[in-house]
Amino acid sequence: MACKINIDLGNGKQMPALGFGTWQATDAELENALESALEAGYRHIDTAYVYENEAVIGRVLTKWIKDGRLKREDLFIVTKLPPTGNKPSGVEKFLTRSLKNLNVDYLDLYLVHTPFTFAERGEDIHPFNENGEILIDTSTDHVAVWKEMEKQLKAGKTKSIGISNFNKKQIERILSNCEIKPSNLQIELHLYFQQNELVNYCKGKGITITAYSPLGAPGIGVLLKKLNAAKEIPDELANETVKKIAEKYNVTPAQILLRYTVQRGIAAIPKSINPTRIKANISIFHFELDNGDITELKALDQGSSGRVCDFKFFKGIDKHPEYPFPECL
Ligand SMILES: NC(=O)c1ccc[n+]([C@@H]2O[C@H](COP(=O)([O-])OP(=O)(O)OC[C@H]3O[C@@H](n4cnc5c(N)ncnc54)[C@H](OP(=O)(O)O)[C@@H]3O)[C@@H](O)[C@H]2O)c1
């Protein structure tokens, strides 16, 4: 079941509302998962330079294009400028590397991954010091970086440009100083963290939203466990209201969470390496939530306390002047 709904990016381009997340899979897992995803009809693929998986994605996509199962223009490929490259000199350099890794001539959407910058230390994407703290570069200048993003768009290296993890104030600053506005903001967004204020603000400015961790951030739970960070991630898939609505439509709780997001006009990019889940996660276009369901799901928002991904797994990141989530300090 292919993704049947597109989101209008406001610049003549369309983004499939249901995309495939690719963070935290090994190359072998991702190779199989991407095959399953393409077979299931996913055409929007979300990656990032820091996921270190662009090359495997490039290999699978090249194979599909070469043997005629896909055309480049069928795909919507998203990748992101790494925090170490979040400075004017980093934009062209890292975008060029991502194009090479993915083996494509252009991206569909290039995002500034984070509003903060890490210090550049060779090829280290996560430069930690001996105390386990992340090395930050406080010279971040969003307006100067954005000008370089606009240049890449004009040069045809990407069809659209956007940002990720920026707060309202940071977005406002770009909007007041840009020639081409961001087409998309990618943020953590799920049932317990519905981001109504930021979503409404962006909608008013013609900026589309993509929800990352749309299943309630279980993937971040996996990362925190690896880092031995004690943080309990609430299981949204086990929520009784979600389970009740899932039974009503004879679908899974994950399908309800994804359908709810897409029905709000927001793109969602669930990650899975399990073929059955991959298929189910995109099969959300044969039913529609009614007003009663929407009222019940809306009421489950926990506001800013629902945030899981505060980036504090990068010890010391909140000392960066552009750390975006002051409510977490
Ligand atoms: N811009 C950013 O800073 C940023 C940050 C985080 C994520 N992202 C992007 O957003 C994508 C999604 O976010 P995410 O990976 O954090 O979280 P997610 O998609 O909400 O959750 C992924 C986790 O849920 C499991 N899962 C997937 N489908 C399921 C289903 N139907 N039922 C039960 N469990 C299911 C997956 O396990 P299995 O693989 O075993 O199925 C995986 O552990 C990422 O892959 C990445 O592309 C962007």
The whole-angstrom separation of Cα 245 and Cα 242 is 5
Given this model, what pLDDT does residue 11 score? 97
On whether residue 103 sits in a domain, the answer given is yes
Q: How many CB atoms lie within 10 A of CB 157?
A: 20
Domain tally for the chain?
1
> Which range marks the domain in which residue 177 is found?
8-229+262-275
pLDDT tens digits along 281-314: 999 999 999 999 999 999 999 999 999 999 999 9
As given in the structure block, the two tokens for residue 180 are: 């081409």
> Is 66 a member of any domain?
yes
Using the mean position of ligand 1's atoms as its centre, give its distance from the Cα of residue 212 in Å: 8
Phi then psi dihedrals of residue 209, to 5 deg: -120, 140
Integer distance in angstroms from the first to the last C-alpha of the chain?
43
- 261 CB under 6 A from ligand 1? no
Alpha helices in 70-195 (DSSP H): 88-102, 142-154, 168-176
**Does the beta carbon of 158 sit less than 6 angstroms from any atom of ligand 1?**
no
CA of 108 to the centre of ligand 1 (A): 21
Contact 321, 315 (CB under 8 A): no
Average pLDDT of the residues in 95-106:
98
Residue 327 within a domain: no
Residue 299 in tokens = 């009421």
Residue 88 lies in a domain: yes
Residue 2 pLDDT > 70, yes or no? no
In ligand 1, the atom with minimum distance to the C-alpha of 254 is 31
pLDDT tens per residue, range 148-191: 999 999 999 999 999 999 999 999 999 999 999 999 999 999 99
114 part of a folded domain: yes
CATH number at residue 157: 3.20.20.100
pLDDT band of 221, cuts 50, 70, 90? confident
Helices 240-249/253-263 angle, 10° precision:
90
Q: Is the residue at 326 inside a domain?
A: no
280 lines ligand 1 (CB under 6 A): yes
Q: Which residues contact 130 (CB under 8 A, 6 or more apart)?
A: none
Written as one letter, the residue type at 298 is K
* Structural contact between residues 127 and 119, judged by C-beta atoms closer than 8 angstroms: yes
Q: Is residue 324 part of a domain?
A: no
In a domain, 219, yes or no: yes
